[in-house]
Amino acid sequence: MLLLATCAQPSFYHGPKSDHFNGRRFFNPDGEQGTGGDENKSLMQLIQSKVVERHRVWPESVPVTPSVPPRRVAGAAMLVTWIGHSTVLIQTQGLNILTDPVWADRDSPVKGVGPLRVRAPGVRYADLPPIDLVLISHDHYDHLDEHLLRHLWARDHPLIVTGLGNDLRLAGWGIPSVARDWGGRVSVRPGIDVIFDRAHHWSARSTDDKNMTLWTGFTLTLPGGNLYYAGDTGPGDMRWAAEAARHGSVRFAILPIGAIHVDGKPSGNHIAPAQAVSAFETLHAGTALGVHWGTFELTDEPIDLPPRLLTQALAQEHIAPDRFRVLEAGGQWSIPPLAPSSSSPAPR
């Protein structure tokens, strides 16, 4: 989610033109560039929506009981912990993996302005085990927490992977990272790779750097079935899920279900729960966790609407609710192995 910033601009990515890069800015190759949300707002509209207007619909806070994850989870066992918003800790194969780690109190670069966090992080930073791998989907403030990343890099020196251009921003903060285009691959260790998947979104961290860094989803290849993280994505042509499914069987998917617009024109930047269920089916995933809800009040949706709509969508598709869950912040889930019928790679 974009909020106003006045910080100095970093260097930006320069490279050959492609079907989603015009030589200066990235774009969605399926043509739809967002029909709502902050992407198409003018400077004055951003000020109005982020500073002047306050939804005042959500509670000031939701009680959270933080959990203390184990230091490591060995072998094929997989334990996931929802920390909040799109931040998930995945522990498997002796690796500790974080998606879009955000511990910030606000979705904002400015103290005292912007949506407050209503759910505290489900794991206190002091209780966070050593992190080996960080997946950063894009540069919006509710997904890229500079303060947290500085501390995490100093403490653990994890492998940080992200889309093109974000590595230059992170380097300006003294944080090394590895950036790739969609379709790129980074080796974590033999047999475990990060593959960069297309997502349908946008990027910006201030008012004049729109779409100058690449947004992305991720597949992590793992023995016993892949991990898929969609990042922040709108529906677009919905083919991004099928593209990710080509990498092989998905044991566990992390899919956004929130920040939809209840009143007014729907946003093309975020999928609704029914679309997340459609992606779940396209992926042929064994299990999935719904994220990007209930932490920062980003739109006019009631705080509990995404889980309710998810329950309805699963029932309509006759999918067992224990396969696609939401958790409370700090909630943990031991992911079951893939069923034998799901263990073979998807056709290419």
Q: Which two tokens stand for residue 150?
A: 């500085």
In angstroms, rounded to a whole number, what is the distance separating the alpha carbons of residues 77 and 95? Answer: 11
In angstroms, rounded to a whole number, what is the distance separating the alpha carbons of residues 103 and 168? Answer: 22
For residue 46, which of 253, 205, 251 has the smallest C-alpha distance? 205
Q: Is 69 exposed, middle or buried (0-12, 13-18, 19+ CB in 10 A)?
A: buried
Q: Which CA distances in Å does 7 have to 4, 14, 110?
A: 10, 21, 11
pTM over 0.75: yes
Strand partners, 250: 226
What is the per-residue pLDDT for 11?
75
Model confidence pLDDT, tens digit, residues 152-168: 999 999 999 999 999 99
What is the per-residue pLDDT for 208?
84
What is the per-residue pLDDT for 2?
44
What is the per-residue pLDDT for 56?
60
What is the per-residue pLDDT for 10?
59
What is the per-residue pLDDT for 343?
47
Model confidence pLDDT, tens digit, residues 10-63: 578 999 999 999 999 999 999 876 544 455 555 445 545 544 445 568 999 999
Residues lower than pLDDT 50 in the chain: 1-8, 35-37, 43-44, 47, 50-53, 343-348
What is the per-residue pLDDT for 43?
46
